Chain A
Amino acid sequence: MSPILEFDKVTIRFGGLTAVSAVSLAVGPTELAGLIGPNGAGKTTVFNLTTGVYQPTEGRISFAGEPSAGLRPYELTRGGIARTFQNIRLFKSLSVVDNVRAAMQVHRTQGIWNSLWRGGAFLRDEQVVEKQALELLSIFRLDVVRDEMATSLSYGDQRRLEIVRALATKPKLLLLDEPAAGMNPTEKLELARLIREIRDRFQIAVLLVEHDMQLVMDLCERIHVLDHGTKIAEGTPVEVRRNPKVIEAYLGEEHALPE
């Protein structure tokens, strides 16, 4: 099967700094992929390149077989890329359900006259969107807090709500930027189960950046390793843990497997 996301020798420079250098990678259509590496390796930059926040200086990025150069973030989201953020970025003046509805309107917006006239079609459409949003929330057991303000949720719930909000855009590829950051071991186990369930249920690809090696090794089918902006390894969790370059640059002896 052809990959959903493909980087072909992608380089980006900020002035004299080369943040990502000739990185190639591919993510399959329903793959659980991981992106690991030490701080400053360029992981979040890869996310920002994928979502159109940055444009590559050299190389090509393709999404679903189409080159994605020149498209703005919201256009790529419409095409099927959704993401969460390293530092939670929920809409703080919207309630839980409205955070999800806001993301849903990527495929369903009302014209300005409909919004002003508020006729039957408008109200029915609003109800449909609300119902879908609640269904999605109930999968993640967040429907009980539907009317709370998003920022009043617990930290773990905010992280989950961010994933729900990303899913509400009906993505083909979900990017998770350090989803387990700040979670306790129980929450991490729950998160791993959740991510796997998302992939199985929605049949989408997931690419995640994460520092918790236990989670990454348990969850990911394929792992890409970055160091100083270049890709130093790729493979299954077992292959990566045996790779001496990865052990030296990032993993250390703790997670290493003997060759």
Chain B
Amino acid sequence: MKHPGARRWFLVAAVLSLGLGWAQDRLDPYFVDILTRIGINVILAVSLNLINGHTGQFSLGHAGFMGVGAYTAAALTLFAGPKLLPAGAGFWVEQLWFLVALGAAGLVAALAGLLVGAPSLRLKGDYLAIVTLGFGQIIAVIFRNIESLGGALGLNGIPARTNLFWSFAAAALTVYVVTALVNSTYGRGFLATHDDEVAAEAMGMNTTRYKIVAFVTGAFFAGIAGGLSGHFTLTINPKGFDFNKSIEIVVMVIVGGMGRTVGVIIAAVLLTLLPEGLRMLSSASPSLKWIGETRPLLYAILLIALMMLRPQGLFTWKRKKGAVTA
């Protein structure tokens, strides 16, 4: 992506998502449902890959930032919107307000990322994994104890704003921003930090700064994905953004191949489809019913097999012609 062609691809993706938004009502709802979730998962996986893959910092708190975004956006459309917008506001005003809510979701999540990241990313080593693990737990406890945000029950009746357009446009934006950053002076900073922090500092790189940029950018898009997710499922609660959700996203990055954006996108798509496929298979005939019952087990076995047979990720290819990976 050294050439301006990258922006052209982004335009193509934006037009495509407009088309999909238009086609939304003409497609099978089940199909639309899966496509929307694919878009959201692509955002989550690609943004986490910037932190865990390209920059080599292990974050276990991506779902926490997603939660921050989900609650921020829901509060804006559910509570602030009706007060601020004129009664009986039309479709476009609603959509515009949703855009504002998504932007705010990203910014608040990014701010949370800065607060968590700035102290822990100054250190070399695996401190980030511990700190983000703690952050995930803390954020869930905080949401559970804020009564105005529904406490443990969460928020219900969130307006249905997320459609194929928003989901895919946001995914296109995420992929574009991450790819553009990785193919710039920042990208070389991220990769150098990932490879060897001591050498990167010796070459004049402020590695702390690169780590924070990657972490905050990742948190920003996790927040947007949270906003989209809340306005898609229409109900959110603290449990939805716990450690299990974070692990789900980490798995997408690992299966796709750390630091390989294309691989991670494919992994996000396949891992969204896999449970659906298994469900279909098990309901196809009574003799296959066991697949549905053992689904979590199959999933775990698949992952273990992957780690043993192809630890670098499923969808990784040689990066450059003639290059030998050591």
Contacts and interface: CB of A to CB of B under 8 A. Distances in A.
B34 interface: no
Interface string B175-191: 00100110011101101
A101 B187 CA distance: 11
Contacts of B195: 90-94
Contacts of A91: 191-192, 195-196, 199-200
Interface in B267-324: 319-324
A39 B121 CA distance: 34
A74 B189 contact: no
Interface stretch (B97-105, B204-212, B227-235, B248-256): B204-212
B250 to A, nearest CB: 20
Contact of B203 (A110, A149, A151, A169): A169
Contacts of A74: 201-207
Nearest to B180: A116
Interface stretch (B1-9, B70-78, B133-141): B1-9
A92 B323 CA distance: 11
Interface size class of B (residues with CB under 8 A): 35 or more
Interface stretch (A62-70, A75-83, A215-223): A75-83
Contacts of A114: 184
Nearest to B54: A93
Interface residues of A, number: 44
Nearest to B6: A118
Interface string A94-116: 11001001110111111010111
A165 interface: yes
Given A105-B185, A118-B4, A82 B202 contact: yes
A109 B203 CA distance: 13
Given A89-B199, A118-B7, A149-B324, A98 B180 contact: no
A149 B322 CA distance: 8
A51 B180 contact: no
Given A74-B207, A92-B195, A147 B322 contact: yes
Nearest to B321: A147
B199 A101 contact: no
Contacts, number: 126
Contacts of B185: 105, 108-110, 115
B186 A112 contact: yes
B213 A112 contact: yes
A169 B259 CA distance: 26
B180 A118 contact: yes
Contacts of B319: 93, 149
Given A85-B199, A91-B196, A165-B203, A148 B6 contact: no
A196 interface: no
A115 B186 contact: yes
Nearest to B324: A152
B87 interface: no
Given A95-B323, A149-B323, A110 B184 contact: yes
27 contacts: A53-B198, A74-B202, A74-B206, A85-B198, A85-B202, A90-B195, A90-B196, A91-B195, A94-B188, A95-B320, A98-B188, A105-B185, A106-B203, A107-B204, A109-B185, A112-B181, A112-B186, A115-B185, A116-B181, A118-B6, A118-B7, A118-B184, A123-B3, A149-B320, A149-B323, A152-B324, A168-B203
Given A72-B201, A94-B188, A115-B185, 18 more contacts: A74-B201, A74-B205, A78-B204, A91-B195, A93-B259, A93-B319, A103-B203, A106-B203, A106-B204, A108-B185, A109-B185, A110-B185, A118-B184, A149-B325, A149-B326, A151-B326, A152-B323, A165-B203
In order of increasing CB-CB distance, the 8 nearest A-B pairs are A106-B204, A77-B204, A115-B184, A89-B199, A73-B201, A149-B323, A102-B188, A152-B324
